[in-house]
């Protein structure tokens, strides 16, 4: 059976958080392939070379080098120039209400979730942003 999502990109500098998110994604049965990038610059470089693009990107806010907000700004330019799009969900441990507000004003970030990524949160994202995909889950 085809997975609802072919490719998910995790952008997070924390190896532990990325591992936990990856484990949730793998156990869910909803994702064919998961790619992890440890910072925004590496993620943008990956996006400039991969085809097809990830359908879903989980993006951390606080990362060294290029943070999540800077990635989103650069992503917007890259996506427009390449005529491609992905659903971006900010996945952060931040409790700052300004971050949630900033997401609502973003042109490229569709949602904000608190870490850690759980099976329930993943199901909500898939149902909300990919409603016409087959729903397969093992978790």
Give 19-64 pLDDT, tens digit per residue: 999 999 999 999 999 999 999 999 999 999 998 899 999 999 999 9
Pairwise CA distance, residues 55 & 52, whole Å:
9
pTM: 0.92
Pairwise CA distance, residues 115 & 88, whole Å:
15
Q: Which H/E stretch holds residue 27? A: helix 15-28
Pairwise CA distance, residues 99 & 71, whole Å:
15
Total residues found in the chain within this entry:
139
Identify the DSSP state of 29.
T
Environment class of 134 (CB within 10 Å of its CB; exposed 0-12, middle 13-18, buried 19+)? exposed
Give 82-135 pLDDT, tens digit per residue: 778 899 999 998 888 898 899 989 989 999 999 999 999 999 999 999 988 766
């Amino acid at each position: 059976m085809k997975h609802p999502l072919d490719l998910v990109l995790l952008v997070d500098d924390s190896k532990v958080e990325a591992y936990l998110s990856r484990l949730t994604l793998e156990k869910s049965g909803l994702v064919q392939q998961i790619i992890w990038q440890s910072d925004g610059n590496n993620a943008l470089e990956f996006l400039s070379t991969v085809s097809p693009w990830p359908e879903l990107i989980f993006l951390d806010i606080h990362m060294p080098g290029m943070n999540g907000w800077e990635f989103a700004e650069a992503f917007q330019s890259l996506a427009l120039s390449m005529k491609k799009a992905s659903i971006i969900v900010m996945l952060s441990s931040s409790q700052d209400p300004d971050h949630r507000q900033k997401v609502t004003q973003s042109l490229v970030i569709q949602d904000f979730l608190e870490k850690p990524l759980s099976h329930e949160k993943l199901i909500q994202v898939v149902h909300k942003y990919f409603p016409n995909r087959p729903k397969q889950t093992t978790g």
